Copies of this chain bind each other. A is one copy, B any other.
Amino acid sequence: MAPTVLSTPEDYQKLVDSVDTFLLDCDGVLYHGPKVVEGVKTVLNHLRASGKKVIFVTNNATKSRRKLQEALNKLELDAQLEECFGSAYASAVYLSQVLKFPKDKKVYVFGEEGLEEELDAVGIAHSGGTDPEDRDFKPPVDYASFKPDDSVGAVLCGFDSWINYKKIAKAVTYLRSNPECKLILTNTDATYPTHGSLFPGSGSLSIPIVNATKRTPIVIGKPNTTMMDAIIADHKFDPSRALMVGDNLSTDIEFGLNSGVRTLLVMGGVTPREAVFGDNPSHVVPDLVMESFGDLAILAKDKA
């Protein structure tokens, strides 16, 4: 089944009329690195003015919503805090609203400020994270110091550039000693693209904990439905009137398909044209395809 290609103002208007909530991937849809995609600012303002809900959905786990908002607004996209939904916040919401995390337990954080900030926002206690006690570790390893702690109800792993043996061993000790303790990963991205190269990502930093505990983790980020559960728990919209927009078949589009939300693939990002229109296309087929999300700007012009 081939996707429907949208290319005329009529196509675009029909799309917008059929959607109440736009779930938007960021890099590759709104901007490429430091450059905003042409027309996108107009599109966002037009959608907001038309009463549509806009939610920026990203797997970035180091940034809190506040930091995501700052980053988007550096690009002059007028993002509101409640429009931002990173995997750090998604994890906090998932713990709080989906798992109903017990008030008397805390989360051990293998991650940075962003994760802590979002746990604070939903009122979940935590340890680890930016605590100098865990960050400033120098061997030799004091194995006797690692004690089970039943007050730790979950280990939450994101990107942690302070990764060290103490953090890994603490997380492993809490999980191995307590089958009730949950292992949650913000995402499993193996690499992190920056400075023109690929560096170890969240999924590669947390894998020692997975490997040493043999646990099957709960994974939050796209394309997992846990992320959608968290977004819907927080925003309470009708999935049948939502649209997931992205440039990546294996994260964004699979995410929508897995969650029963319609999908729109935009070209010009990470997906090569052949993966959609070639002789041997990807098995992941979006519902809709258009060249650029910025092309919807023509609707604002028609209206003006």
A144 touches B195 (CB 8 A): yes
- Tell me, in angstroms, the Cα distance from A197 to B200 when the chains sit together: 29
Query: A163-B165, A168-B163, A204-B168 are known contacts. Are A146 and B212 too (CB-CB below 8 A)?
Result: no
- Tell me, in angstroms, the Cα distance from A204 to B172 when the chains sit together: 11
Is A71 an interface residue when CB atoms closer than 8 A count as contact?
no
A200 touches B176 (CB 8 A): no
Task: Give every chain B residue within 8 A of A199 (Cβ-Cβ).
Answer: 141, 143, 146, 169, 172-173, 212
Among A155-180, those with CB < 8 Å from B are 161-165, 168-169, 172-173, 176-177
Cβ-closest chain B residue relative to A199: B169
B161 touches A176 (CB 8 A): no
A173 touches B197 (CB 8 A): yes
Q: For A212, give its contact among B164, B190, B211 (CB under 8 Å).
A: B190
Is A40 an interface residue when CB atoms closer than 8 A count as contact?
no
B161 touches A200 (CB 8 A): no
Query: A168-B204, A207-B208, A208-B208 are known contacts. Are A197 and B146 too (CB-CB below 8 A)?
Result: yes
- The smallest beta-carbon distance between A25 and chain B, in angstroms, is 22
Cβ-closest chain B residue relative to A166: B161
- Tell me, in angstroms, the Cα distance from A179 to B201 when the chains sit together: 20
- The smallest beta-carbon distance between A67 and chain B, in angstroms, is 14
By a beta-carbon cutoff of 8 Å, the part of chain A in contact with chain B is 139-141, 143-144, 146, 161-165, 168-169, 172-173, 176-177, 190-191, 194-195, 197-201, 203-205, 207-209, 211-212, 214
